[in-house]
Amino acid sequence: MEGFANMIRSHVLVCGGTGCTSSGSAQILQTLKDELKNCKLEDEVAVVQTGCHGLCAEGPVMIVYPDAIFYARVTPEDVPEIVTEHLLKGRVVERLLYREQKEPEGITSLNKTVFYKKQHRIALRNCGVINPENIDEYIGTGGYEALGRVLTQMTPDEVIQTLLDSGLRGRGGAGFPTGLKWKFASGNRGNIQKYVCCNADEGDPGAFMDRSVLEGDPHVVLEAMAIAGYAIGSNQGYIYVRAEYPIAVKRLNIAIGQAREYGLLGKDIFGTGFDFDIELRLGAGAFVCGEETALMTSIEGNRGEPRPRPPFPAVKGLFAKPTILNNVETWANIPQIIINGPEWFASMGTEKSKGTKVFALGGKINNTGLVEIPMGTPLRTVIEEIGGGIPNGKKFKAAQTGGPSGGCIPAEHFDIPIDYDNLISIGSMMGSGGMIVMDEDNCMVDIAKFFLQFTVDESCGKCTPCRVGTKRLLEILEKITDGRGTLEDLEKAQELCAYIKENAQCGLGQTAPNPVLSTMRYFHDEYVEHVVNKRCPAGVCKDLINYKIDPEKCKGCTLCARNCPADAITGEVKQPHVIDIAKCVKCGTCMDHCRFGAIYKE
């Protein structure tokens, strides 16, 4: 019986993704280890730091197995209670339970909660499950089995055909067929130097899908890139990751070191004579370096500017050699396609958009976080069910997909099945997977201005249509939100959008007008209200609103006056107050402090 003395009876998984780390999960992890030691449980309970579990709104997150108890919003002060009550005495700490696990008949399974039950995790299958810094845990879930199968049982052309048959399209935004890209670069194997690149330069506002995969399952990217190297005849890979992702960079470095130590990167992998290694290249956070030729130019040590195409990278890419580039999520699908077969992957999704897609839900949504859904899932399902709906009973107004390159999906398309072609047909795009939800309190002109400002700041300046055109377009939007816009400005904006799309050199400039075009298409009345009536219906554009006090509701409590930073509010105690519009800076502090709903925007 001595062999059972140190048997682990419970595993406690603590999220170590960026979201939970920023909320203090590292302190929770250390406190947990200290408390287990104090209770002499360190040999019975294993503590595992994982990647993101997806439900970022409930972080910091802790899950106890085999019970599958999900503790949400844990603080270091909660840890002693979890240890003594749950791990020592076997009693669940109900006050910390994730709300959806609480059922009248008992505790429900995590897989049956609304957030998780309609998801299908392929790219995210190991995120939140394994320790990303332990290669043995990745191998224990089937890791590197696909690479072994490819090197010992398949020809390079069979690998490419498998991807073609699967229907996998690039998850970075454009949706180009992955197998076709590999096929273009596969000629002259062994006779010419080739490169395999990973685009981990995720830069869309509100997007964190690729970062989460790198933080939670870095080995899947290494394995997939090695498979690609075998398929096209390359012995060298590069991962271009932004330096703003320190946790991802750290775990990638650890994973590369472990893979080399195990002989899964480097020379003579699996004794087959195949050589392949990977290096990291850190980006400085330039959005334009998400464009493939700009990314390769940056890896070469030059300023990240796009190059004319053709020639395409599959013919002349990194260091002027044939190169394939896929983003993190695309790579994360490949080992599972090899293991389960192309038919398995192609059975999910829609006719032209196979498999699943990862989205980062953000904005006006209850369940902010990371979700992976089958292609073709209706937007309504993502927002109302998986996302938990809009907070505070507000109405859904629009969802922005594709970031600065995408467009807004209005309420009239709330039931649209999400796939590449459907989104493009309504003026949006898939993009890398950011999904920002907006409610009735968002001004769509202001939203378009926000994304265009981002694009203006991130333009590399190489071509005039992007460098100058986006700036002039932004100036028009600023005129409109400042109350100086005219109907002629709306016409000019449309013409300028068409010119930029037609003449910009790279995808950044060509798609920069999309947020403007989609908001003008679906919320044209809102633009007209801004320029004709000089009014912002959502009450967002400061120059078009005034704060006023309703004398019927004002109780004269003086809270508004005491908190006004501009001393713009006057009035006697217990008497209605008045706002001096000339002094008011329109910060909204008075409305935030009013207890009687007496202050309104007009």
Per-residue model confidence (pLDDT) at position 119: 95
Q: Of all residues in the chain, what percent carry a pLDDT higher than 70?
A: 99
Q: CA nearest 426: which of 435, 413, 442, 445?
A: 413
Rounded Cα–Cα distance for residues 525 and 9 (Å): 62
Helix (H) or strand (E) holding 374: strand 369-374
User: What's the pLDDT tens digit per position in 467-509?
Assistant: 999 999 999 999 999 999 999 999 999 999 999 999 999 989 9
Distances (CA, A) of 369 to 55, 208, 440, 467: 5, 9, 21, 34
Q: Is residue 306 within 8 Å of 317, Cβ to Cβ? A: no
By DSSP bridging, strand 356-363 and strand 434-439 are: parallel
Chain Cα centroid distance, residue 119: 16
Q: Is residue 383 within 8 Å of 373, Cβ to Cβ? A: no
Instruction: Say whether the peptide bond before residue 76 is cis (omega within 30 degrees of 0).
Output: no
Mean of pLDDT values over 182-190: 91
Q: 567 — alpha (psi -120 to 50), left (phi > 0) or beta?
A: left
- DSSP letter, residue 320: G
Q: Please list the residues that pair with 417 across neighbouring strands.
A: 378
Tokens encoding 589: 């502090």
Rounded Cα–Cα distance for residues 474 and 471 (Å): 5
Residue bearing tokens 């209200």: 529
Per-residue model confidence (pLDDT) at position 6: 62
Average pLDDT over the chain, rounded to an integer = 94
By DSSP bridging, strand 274-283 and strand 547-549 are: unpaired
Q: Is residue 275 within 8 Å of 266, Cβ to Cβ? A: yes
Q: Is residue 403 within 8 Å of 356, Cβ to Cβ? A: no
Instruction: Say whether the peptide bond before residue 60 is cis (omega within 30 degrees of 0).
Output: yes
Mean of pLDDT values over 323-348: 97
3-state secondary structure of 487: helix
Q: Please check the confidence at residue 105 and state whether its pLDDT lies above 80.
A: no
User: What's the pLDDT tens digit per position in 532-567?
Assistant: 999 999 989 999 999 999 999 999 999 999 999 999
Q: How confident is the model at residue 228 (pLDDT cuts 50, 70, 90)?
A: very high
Mean of pLDDT values over 500-519: 93
Rounded Cα–Cα distance for residues 64 and 69 (Å): 5
Q: Counting Cβ atoms within 10 Å, is residue 66 exposed (0-12), middle (13-18) or buried (19+)?
A: exposed
Q: Please check the confidence at residue 99 and state whether its pLDDT lies above 80.
A: yes
Mean of pLDDT values over 446-464: 94
Distances (CA, A) of 509 to 94, 253, 428, 455: 52, 34, 15, 8
Per-residue model confidence (pLDDT) at position 206: 83
Buried b (16+ CB within 10 A) or exposed e, 245-278: bebbbebbebbbebbeeeebbeeebeeeebebbb
- DSSP state string for 533-588: S---TTS--GGG--EEE-TTT-----HHHHH-TT--EE--TTS--EE-TTT-----
CB-based contacts of 30, cutoff 8 Å, min separation 6? none
**Which one has a higher pLDDT value, 7 or 156?**
156
User: What's the pLDDT tens digit per position in 352-391?
Assistant: 999 999 999 999 999 999 999 999 999 999 999 999 999 9
Per-residue model confidence (pLDDT) at position 91: 94
Q: Is residue 29 within 8 Å of 21, Cβ to Cβ? A: no
Q: How confident is the model at residue 393 (pLDDT cuts 50, 70, 90)?
A: very high
Q: CA nearest 459: which of 311, 286, 341, 265?
A: 286
Per-residue model confidence (pLDDT) at position 255: 98
- DSSP letter, residue 353: S
CB-based contacts of 378, cutoff 8 Å, min separation 6? 414, 415, 416, 417, 418
Rounded Cα–Cα distance for residues 493 and 396 (Å): 27
Tokens encoding 92: 């669940």
Q: CA nearest 88: which of 32, 142, 139, 129?
A: 32
Helix axes 444-458, 514-522, angle to 10 degrees: 170
Q: Is residue 391 within 8 Å of 366, Cβ to Cβ? A: yes
Q: Is residue 159 within 8 Å of 84, Cβ to Cβ? A: no
Q: Is residue 253 within 8 Å of 134, Cβ to Cβ? A: no
Q: Which range (203-207, 288-292, 498-502, 503-507) has the least confidence?
A: 203-207
Per-residue model confidence (pLDDT) at position 426: 92
Q: How confident is the model at residue 207 (pLDDT cuts 50, 70, 90)?
A: confident
Q: Please check the confidence at residue 2 and state whether its pLDDT lies above 90.
A: no
Q: Is residue 255 within 8 Å of 219, Cβ to Cβ? A: yes
Per-residue model confidence (pLDDT) at position 296: 97
Q: Is residue 328 within 8 Å of 212, Cβ to Cβ? A: no
